Amino acid sequence: MIKKIKGTYDVYGNLSKKHDYIKKLFQAVCENYNYSYIETPFIERSELFHRGVGEATDIVTKETYDFIDRGGRNNTIRPEGTAGIARSIIENKLYTTLPLKLWYLGSMYRYERPQKGRYRELRQLGVESYGSNEPIMDAEVISMGVNFFKELGIKNIKVIINSIGGVETRKKYREALISHFKKDIDNFCQDCKDRINKNPLRILDCKIDMDNELIKSAPSILSYLNDEEKNHFEKVKDYLKVLDIDYEVDSSLVRGLDYYTNTVFEFKTEINDFGSIGGGGRYNNLLSSLDGPDIPAVGFALGLDRIVDTLDALGINLNLDDAIDVYLLTITDKEDDYALDLAQKLRMCGFKVDLDLSKKNMKAKFKESDRYKSKFTIIIGEEEIKTDTLTIKDNLTKEEKKVDYDGLIDFLDTNI
Ligand code: HAM
């Protein structure tokens, strides 16, 4: 038997209903905020991620699924969505109309060590908002995430925020971190030893060395921000207060991707096993670093898989309305034509309808109607067809009623 690849899983049954519910809710929230849907390819040139996400990030150096195609070109299966969307904006000149507010969803691929909440095929729901460098935009994007989680039933969502400033600030901060960690780097894990010169900021969120005293006593990036960056961060926090959003500043939050500037944030819940349930930030230099125009942007991505794991761990049940409206139950084969025609009419009117197409016996048909949790079962026999009167069973009250064929749609409209 061929088995699934480690770190992937199949989505079916109740899980597929949950995914569907969450995706639809996310779409509804994005539409409320006037975002448009964008879809970009799963495969891109490897260079996009090297230049966009960063040479010194784990995602690019250790986790990408790379392959050389039959034409000898280096391609990568996308590890995240932001870089591909940036490429699309440049290539299709979408930046000619700003602001550009986009939402997306889809699978991403990272060769990470699979564990609870960490998959090799992960699904993200995300937004990217281009065209404003105003702190109010950062706050609105964060509020979108918070509102989505609240609507899902995750009320105690924690927003962790930080500012990592711009390129100049990070250069200075980098030097400060290197001299802070240098003296004792031998006591750190191999990854941190590698990071000290390449990307010392990532030492701050190392999972292995998180209890090391030097991490706790490391200088804070917030004291390296220039006045403009400080002011931006203060305003973001002020707007979050206006929006009544609880946040916590964590000056060690640096995020794992190189494109961020100023505001970075993560969404967390009290279930910490899965890491962050979403994260994002401002990335004003991404477009220009990919030879595009200089346009500021802010966005986030939420992990759909982790959202489901978190809902399960918190015992939150989604209101999955998977019941059908009507099940058509024919007594013999002779009523099949009539039932097929009626099913079509009802479906065209927007009702969720099913009927037995595999010639089951009556008992099995009633069972199937129950399994689909149908609100009404319409029984169709010889007598019903002759008199054009249908027998309708309300499966909640168990009451049966006769309804004229012509009055059926009205009946269903008022009772569903
Ligand atoms: P990220 O923090 O790498 O950011 O991923 C965002 C979210 O995807 C995480 O918070 C987590 O919920 C989920 N996630 C990441 N890796 C895994 C995994 N291996 N298994 C399950 N879930 C995972 C980004 O990807 C940025 N592109 C976000 C962004 C958009 N920033 C600006 N715009």
Q: Pick from 100, 103, 109, 122 the residue to mutate for probing ligand 1's pocket: most ligand atoms within 8 Å of its CB.
A: 122
CA distance 148 to 37: 16
- At 211 the pLDDT is 86
Residues 305 and 116 sit within 8 Å (Cβ to Cβ): no
> Range of 154's domain?
13-165+225-313
Question: Closest residue (by CA) to atom 30 of ligand 1?
Answer: 300
Q: pLDDT of 23-47, one tens digit each?
A: 999 999 999 999 999 999 999 999 9
Sign of CA dihedral 181, 186, 189, 193: positive
Structure tokens at 255: 């995020």
Q: Pick from 9, 130, 257, 267 the residue to mutate for probing ligand 1's pocket: most ligand atoms within 8 Å of its CB.
A: 257
Pocket (CB within 6 angstroms of ligand 1): 80-82, 110, 112, 117-119, 122, 124, 126, 128, 256-257, 276-281, 283, 299-303, 305-306
| Residue 286 identity | L
Q: Choose one of 313, 334, 353: the last residue of a domain.
A: 313
| Number of domains, the chain | 2
- At 210 the pLDDT is 85
Q: Choose one of 251, 283, 313: the last residue of a domain.
A: 313
Q: pLDDT of 163-211, one tens digit each?
A: 999 999 999 999 999 999 998 899 899 989 988 888 898 898 888 888 8
- At 53 the pLDDT is 85
- At 199 the pLDDT is 85
Q: Pick from 260, 306, 307, 309 the residue to mutate for probing ligand 1's pocket: most ligand atoms within 8 Å of its CB.
A: 306
Please give the average per-residue pLDDT across 374-388, as a whole number. Answer: 95
Quick check: is 202 in a domain? no
Query: Sheet holding 326-330: strands in order across?
Result: 353-355, 326-330, 376-380, 389-394, 400-404
- At 14 the pLDDT is 94
**CATH number, position 88:** 3.30.930.10
CA distance 269 to 288: 35
Q: pLDDT of 242-252, one tens digit each?
A: 999 999 999 98
Q: Is 201 or 141 the better-scoring residue by pLDDT?
A: 141
Same domain, yes or no: 35 and 100: yes
pTM: 0.93
Dist. CA 80 → ligand 1 center (Å):
7
Dist. CA 212 → ligand 1 center (Å):
26
Quick check: is 205 in a domain? no
Please give the average per-residue pLDDT across 269-279, as a whole number. Answer: 88
Same domain, yes or no: 155 and 249: yes
Mean pLDDT, the chain, whole residue set: 95
